[in-house]
Every structure is written in C-alpha cells, then in structure tokens.
C-alpha cells in the first residue's frame, strides 16, 4: 500500500501549493475537494512564499558568483603581505637591515618565521600592522622597503578589505533570506497538511486506488515502500518475463 509523502524541501512545498491553488481556481467551491477557507489562506500565503524562495535563490547565486573574485583578492593580499615580510627578512640576512626593523612590523627581533595567514582575520590584522609599521618607520627617517613597496601591498590589501566587506554584506543578505524562509516554513507545511487532509477526507468513500488518483490531481504525492511493487513496476516485471520467454 503506497503511503502519502508530504513535501520536505522548499521547492516541493512550492510545487504542492501551486498544484492545489490551480485546482482551487479551476473548480467551483462546490466541486473543490478542500475548504474555501483553506483556499483563501493558501492564496494569501503563496505570494509571500514565492517571494522568499526567490530572494533566497537570488542572494545565494550572487554570493556564489562574487565568491570567485573574492577568493582571488584574498590570495593577492595574502601573497603581498607574505612577500613584504620575506623581503624584510632577506634584507636582514644580507645585512642591509637591522633586526630592530622587525618590531616595526609587529614581529620580534629574532623571529624570522612568517606569521600565519590562514584566515581572513589574519590577513586583516597583518595587513594593518604592516601598513601602520611602515608609516611609523618612515616617520623616523628610515628608507622604505621595496619590491614590493608598502604602497603596492596597501593597494591589494585595500582591494581585499573592500571585497571582504561586500562579501559579508552578501552573506548577511543570504542569512536574512534563509531566516525568512524558516519563519514561513511551518505555515507552508500547515497549509499543505490541511489541504491534503481535506482532499483525502473528501474522497474517503472511494476505493483506495481511485481516491489516490483523484487526490494526486491536487498535488498529493504517494510513494511505495522499498519492499512494495507499484502497478508500473509490476507491469515492467511482467513485460520483462514475456520478453525473456
């Protein structure tokens, strides 16, 4: 015996609501298999549900599209920050700079290791430390570091910061859209449940097969369990046996 399966995704919820609404518009109240009050509630709700689904998809698509460029800017900023510190270290090794140069850039005098740049916050912090340190060092009359200069580092750092803020805004928009979906999901499920219950109740006096056939026209979904064979599967099995003979 097939069982009724309520929608469990937002797109399947939308499909179920649209199927029921279509029947509500096609049939008179006397012929409709669910209550007019349920129909009116669904007709009022559906535009809101369609809107939040559209917003969710739109914010997701924009975020994914922007993410490719964002990752490029992260990579560039990380590369230039790392190269700048490496240049300072190599100049110290060659004797062109003193170890006392490192503290300007937030690094201990005897520490020649590169800082971790694994996260966005690492890049934000170290970029700002290098830029501020270069300004302080210049104010003391020291010659600027070159290849790359701090100006070039700052260009890529600022590009990253701008992209970071934009990406966070996109993430915030997407989160808001997700929350809006979540806020309406229970109501969508309640409306669909009412429609399906009322449709099945209207056809409760009919044989099971005919009841399901009529209910499916309202968007109700019936599925067979794994250990059950539906009419189509049974037909195909018989067909296979005939051809094997």
The pLDDT tens digits for 100-157 are 999 999 999 999 999 999 999 999 999 999 999 999 999 999 999 999 999 999 999 9
3-state helix, strand, coil in the chain (%, to 5): 75, 0, 25
Give the CA diameter of the chain. 97
CB 159 within 8 Å of CB 77: yes
Question: Residue 64 corresponds to which tokens in the numbers above?
Answer: 């994914």
- Compute φ and ψ for 95, nearest 5 degrees: 85, 10
**234, pLDDT greater than 90:** no
CB 70 within 8 Å of CB 168: no
Map out the domains of the chain as residue ranges: 3-244
CB 45 within 8 Å of CB 188: yes
The pLDDT tens digits for 142-199 are 999 999 999 999 999 999 999 999 999 999 999 999 999 999 999 999 999 999 999 9
The pLDDT tens digits for 46-94 are 999 999 999 999 999 999 999 999 999 999 999 999 999 999 999 999 9
- Compute φ and ψ for 201, nearest 5 degrees: -65, -40
């Amino acid at each position: 015996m097939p069982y009724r399966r309520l929608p469990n995704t937002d797109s399947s919820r939308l499909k179920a609501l649209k199927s029921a609404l279509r029947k509500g518009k096609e049939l008179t109240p006397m012929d409709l298999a669910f209550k007019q009050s349920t129909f009116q509630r669904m007709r009022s709700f559906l535009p809101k549900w369609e809107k939040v689904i559209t917003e969710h998809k739109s914010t997701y698509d924009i975020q994914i599209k922007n993410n490719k460029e964002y990752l490029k800017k992260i990579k560039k900023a990380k590369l230039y920050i790392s190269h700048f510190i490496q240049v300072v270290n190599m100049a110290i090794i060659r004797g062109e700079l003193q170890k006392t140069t490192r503290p300007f850039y937030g690094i201990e005098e005897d520490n020649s290791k590169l800082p971790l740049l694994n996260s966005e916050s690492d890049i934000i912090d170290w970029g700002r430390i290098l830029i501020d340190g270069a300004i302080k060092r210049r104010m003391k009359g020291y010659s600027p570091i070159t290849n790359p200069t701090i100006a070039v580092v700052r260009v890529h750092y600022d590009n990253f910061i701008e992209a970071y803020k934009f990406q966070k805004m996109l993430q915030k928009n997407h989160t808001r859209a997700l929350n809006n979906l979540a806020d309406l999901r229970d109501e969508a499920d309640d409306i669909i449940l009412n429609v399906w219950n009322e449709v099945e109740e209207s056809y409760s006096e009919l044989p099971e097969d005919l009841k399901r056939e009529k209910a499916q026209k309202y968007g109700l979904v019936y599925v067979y369990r794994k250990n059950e064979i539906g009419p189509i599967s049974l037909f195909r099995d018989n067909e296979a046996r005939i051809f094997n003979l």
